[in-house]
Amino acid sequence: MPDRILSHSEMCLREGIPLRRGMNFRVRGGHSVLLMSVRPGAPYRDELSGDGTVLRYEGHDAPRPRTGGLDPKTVDQPLQTPNGQPTQNGLFFGAALAARAGDAPPERVRVYEKLRPGLWTDHGVFHLVDAAQEHDGTRHVFVFRLEAVQGEAEGAVPVPAHPGSRRVIPGGVKLAVWNRDGGGCAECGADEDLHFALLRPSAGATPENVRLLCTRHDPGEDDRSG
């Protein structure tokens, strides 16, 4: 179910791999996984906009040298490793350009956001639709554009821009609701199997319209049926 709360180990169990980095191209099961954070001090400038349905995701830096060397934040983000293999930037970049050109269907990417240490949320599946290399004033970075899709299935269509369509609840709203509801179901206080739910689906994803609920108090839709 999108919008649920997970620990890092629950995410790894679900995806079937140890998620040690932000960008994970085509993990077991075919889809890709991106981990994002917009918390103060987050290492990359990721951003959800358009009611959370459009994600701007920044590529990853060069690995930090073990001793000495340049600060990775001052060097261009790498497309290839020193021995010529594509980095995660390279893999996502190639797929984004193929999708933009219409040569391949867009990559399906599940997006998780870190709300605070140990507290993650699932934003559901997005399509990787474009990528560019930008100069941020210091160096070149990769910027990926992703758009939320309806449901989890292959061939899912973009979230339509009409009231009642799936909304992606921004992480800042989720964290505010988590704190307000004390990390438990707003109905019974349960602290397991929690997810965020909109009170009125046609209204915006503001804290007033979002509650933290357990699956007993909001069974939600079965997103595998679509």
| Minimum distance, C-beta of residue 181 to Zn ion, in the bound complex (Å) | 11
- Judged by DSSP in three states, 185 sits in coil
Longest Cα–Cα distance in the chain? 55
Sequence-distant (≥ 6) Cβ neighbours of residue 219 within 8 angstroms: none
Q: Does 17 bind Zn ion (CB under 5 A)?
A: no
| Minimum distance, C-beta of residue 169 to Zn ion, in the bound complex (Å) | 18
C-beta of residue 175 within 8 angstroms of C-beta of residue 196: no
Q: Does 199 bind Zn ion (CB under 5 A)?
A: no
| Minimum distance, C-beta of residue 210 to Zn ion, in the bound complex (Å) | 15
Q: Among 34, 168, 185, 205, which residue interacts with Zn ion (rule: CB under 5 A)?
A: 185
- Judged by DSSP in three states, 114 sits in strand
* Residue 85 CB coordination number (10 Å): 9
Q: How far is it, in rounded angstroms, from Cα 198 to Cα 166?
A: 10
Q: Among 14, 39, 140, 217, which residue interacts with Zn ion (rule: CB under 5 A)?
A: 217
| Minimum distance, C-beta of residue 198 to Zn ion, in the bound complex (Å) | 16
Q: How far is it, in rounded angstroms, from Cα 49 to Cα 54?
A: 5
Q: Does 197 bind Zn ion (CB under 5 A)?
A: no
Q: Among 17, 176, 190, 203, which residue interacts with Zn ion (rule: CB under 5 A)?
A: 190
What tokens appear for 55 in the block?
């994600």
Q: Which range binds Zn ion by CB under 5 A, 32-40, 117-125, 173-181, 186-194?
A: 186-194
| Minimum distance, C-beta of residue 184 to Zn ion, in the bound complex (Å) | 8
Give the residues lining the site for Zn ion (CB under 5 A): 185, 187-188, 190, 214, 217
